[in-house]
A and B are shown apart, each in its own frame.
Chain A
């Protein structure tokens, strides 16, 4: 549509008035001809996409009776805002975590931790109702994040400590079989918790990306959880 200069005033008047009527036709078309797109939350809710970045969850391995998380701290190192702090439970093949706290008040929901994890042990789910009245309620402990809740965490602890104790026993047996030297190298039976503080995050290198597709695992997701304090 050309500009209105050099048009006679009468013609300009009719052009302008006509444009008003055209605009009003558009609005009345929307009044009668289009659906109303309001979704009346909280009575109606939209479903989020499968890749939606909501509340985190740590899958639980039914066969091994433990959480998949081995406490490797790659997620802690990958996080740009120091959200995760965890307490390792042992090390090596049977390693795990006894505490895994995420301060979601700091979290950007950027997914770098998900991509860093090599054990498919942390995912983001569809739960987005995370608002609370208290800052402390933003800190999610392992019981709130693990699939299966408190029971899973306790079972995890038992399984891992049992496995670690058995490993120790086997090592001790081997050492004893080797002779007196084993007694000097005997270690206490309880697992040593090695708290990993996320303070020195900047100095550690970020984990590499190996281009694997992080598909959602075949474990049940937790139901949408109302977080209220």
Chain B
């Protein structure tokens, strides 16, 4: 007796990728239904890192919310500090001195380089090239040392406050940054030779996880995800904040929409960040670094929305004030959360090994997804 297709019935295999998994970049759980190696459906399940940050913000005065924002996107914590500080400043109508704005941009771009280096290392390591992880972290160590000299911390900086920054640049900081930027292009070129040109790397990433521009826009993608699909959408150009409107830099965008394009966007962004940092150091004026804020800060009733371009995409903070010293409501629009909504549309039809590549190319951080 021969068995035809209609007589063999088989169900797909349900597999849990995560929450404990080396490649999901945090505690993300992907419930996938597999047919052999091919994925039929995928359901991302989040909440494993939920700490109730938005509720905690409502119970504290405005200044005390800043350290918690470090823990949102912990790889780009200065950017989160900036987003919420900007919202507070807009609520209270506070002007930030020019030197402080330059310092903020400088710090955020350094943080962008550090975050993208983590992306580089973890992405390559997910694909099997573990050596690149060590090389990128070797470079990142220099950035972290610089940020430690400035802020005192190595990951959760808590250094951008409503009104400016708490302390000025330490002695030798500018020289240290310039020394780092002198060597940095060489490291990126070396990485290109090792990884970007590698045949296996390209075979793994070319044509994998293609997101069309329409799909990206429809799902609300931002940052390298949408720029990897050819849409040159960058908050620093569209709605410039701080002194980004005075900075000369190129917004990289590649039209293919696959994982390789998103990877190349981030590598190119690192080069552009180096350009911005050089300009900041050159053009930074002397002056105040912090506007005097009242001891008890009670902004008028109203709401404010602040948009920033974090290394992951558009990180925005919505803040509502009711006249009391504590905010009435704070909502953080996290780019990784929005990007995860792309997964159920993107993953069916791909293989398990591709899931790892796609997740890595999104560069999600579960801290900001779950808050």
Q: Which residues of chain A have a CB within 8 Å of any CB of chain B?
A: 1, 3-4, 15-17, 19-20, 22-23, 25-27, 29-30, 37, 48-53, 78-80, 108-112, 115, 124, 201-202, 204-211, 213-214
Q: Which 5 A-B pairs have the closest CB atoms?
A: A16-B199, A205-B296, A208-B295, A211-B290, A110-B67
Our count of residue pairs bridging A and B at CB distance below 8 angstroms stands at 134
Whether A78 lies near B64 (C-beta < 8 A) is: yes
Can you list 11 contacts pairing A with B, beta carbon distance less than 8 Å? Answer: A23-B194, A29-B190, A37-B138, A49-B152, A50-B170, A51-B152, A52-B153, A110-B67, A205-B296, A209-B161, A209-B292
Whether A208 lies near B164 (C-beta < 8 A) is: no
Q: Which of B29-37, B143-151, B273-281 contacts A (4 or more CB under 8 A)?
A: B143-151
Of the candidates B61, B152, B200, which one forms a contact with A53 in the assembled complex, judged by CB atoms under 8 Å apart?
A: B152
**Chain A nearest Cβ from B154, distance in angstroms:** 9
Q: Which residue of B lies closest to A81 (CB)?
A: B67
From A1, A23, A51, A124, name the one whose CB has the most chain B CB atoms within 10 angstroms. A23
B residues less than 8 Å from A4 (CB atoms) = 199, 202, 206
Instruction: Given A80-B65, A112-B64, A209-B292, output 15 extra A-B contacts at Cβ < 8 Å.
Output: A1-B196, A4-B199, A20-B198, A49-B170, A108-B70, A110-B156, A110-B158, A111-B158, A111-B166, A112-B63, A206-B297, A208-B296, A209-B166, A211-B290, A211-B291
Cα of A16 to Cα of B170 in the assembled complex, Å: 47
Q: Is B168 an interface residue (CB 8 A)?
A: yes
Q: Which residue of B lies closest to A48 (CB)?
A: B148
Whether B152 lies near A111 (C-beta < 8 A) is: yes
Chain B contacts with A in 309-356, Cβ cutoff 8 A: 325-326
Whether A209 lies near B195 (C-beta < 8 A) is: no
Q: Is B193 an interface residue (CB 8 A)?
A: yes
B residues less than 8 Å from A19 (CB atoms) = 197-199
Q: Which residue of A lies closest to B170 (CB)?
A: A51
**Chain A nearest Cβ from B322, distance in angstroms:** 15
Q: Which residue of B lies closest to A215 (CB)?
A: B167
Q: A26-B194, A27-B194 are in contact. Are A108 and B149 (CB under 8 A)?
A: no
Q: A26-B190, A50-B170, A211-B289 are in contact. Are A205 and B297 (CB under 8 A)?
A: yes
Q: Which residue of B lies closest to A54 (CB)?
A: B152
The number of chain B residues touching the other chain, given as a range, is: 35 or more
A residues less than 8 Å from B305 (CB atoms) = none
B residues less than 8 Å from A1 (CB atoms) = 196-197
Whether B325 lies near A51 (C-beta < 8 A) is: no
Whether A51 lies near B193 (C-beta < 8 A) is: no
Of the candidates A3, A20, A27, which one forms a contact with B206 in the assembled complex, judged by CB atoms under 8 Å apart?
A: A3
A residues less than 8 Å from B156 (CB atoms) = 108-110
Q: A20-B198, A26-B190, A111-B158 are in contact. Are A206 and B149 (CB under 8 A)?
A: no
Whether A53 lies near B153 (C-beta < 8 A) is: yes
Cα of A37 to Cα of B187 in the assembled complex, Å: 15
Of the candidates B64, B149, B298, which one forms a contact with A49 in the assembled complex, judged by CB atoms under 8 Å apart?
A: B149
Cα of A180 to Cα of B166 in the assembled complex, Å: 54
B residues less than 8 Å from A30 (CB atoms) = 131, 135
**Chain A nearest Cβ from B292, distance in angstroms:** 6
Whether B292 lies near A52 (C-beta < 8 A) is: no
Cα of A1 to Cα of B294 in the assembled complex, Å: 56
A residues less than 8 Å from B153 (CB atoms) = 52-53, 109
Q: Which residue of B lies closest to A49 (CB)?
A: B149
Whether B294 lies near A208 (C-beta < 8 A) is: yes
Q: Is B263 an interface residue (CB 8 A)?
A: no
Whether B193 lies near A26 (C-beta < 8 A) is: yes
Cα of A50 to Cα of B64 in the assembled complex, Å: 24
Cα of A27 to Cα of B326 in the assembled complex, Å: 54
Q: Is B257 an interface residue (CB 8 A)?
A: no
Cα of A23 to Cα of B129 in the assembled complex, Å: 11
Q: Is B288 an interface residue (CB 8 A)?
A: yes
Cα of A214 to Cα of B159 in the assembled complex, Å: 13
Q: A15-B199, A210-B292 are in contact. Are A124 and B152 (CB under 8 A)?
A: yes
From A37, A201, A209, name the one whose CB has the most chain B CB atoms within 10 angstroms. A209
Cα of A205 to Cα of B326 in the assembled complex, Å: 8
Cα of A214 to Cα of B151 in the assembled complex, Å: 12
Cα of A17 to Cα of B64 in the assembled complex, Å: 56
Cα of A109 to Cα of B156 in the assembled complex, Å: 9
Q: Which residue of B lies closest to A16 (CB)?
A: B199
Whether A80 lies near B60 (C-beta < 8 A) is: yes
Q: Which residue of A lies closest to B161 (CB)?
A: A209
Cα of A27 to Cα of B67 in the assembled complex, Å: 40
Cα of A49 to Cα of B156 in the assembled complex, Å: 16
Whether A37 lies near B141 (C-beta < 8 A) is: yes
B residues less than 8 Å from A16 (CB atoms) = 199-200
Cα of A207 to Cα of B161 in the assembled complex, Å: 13
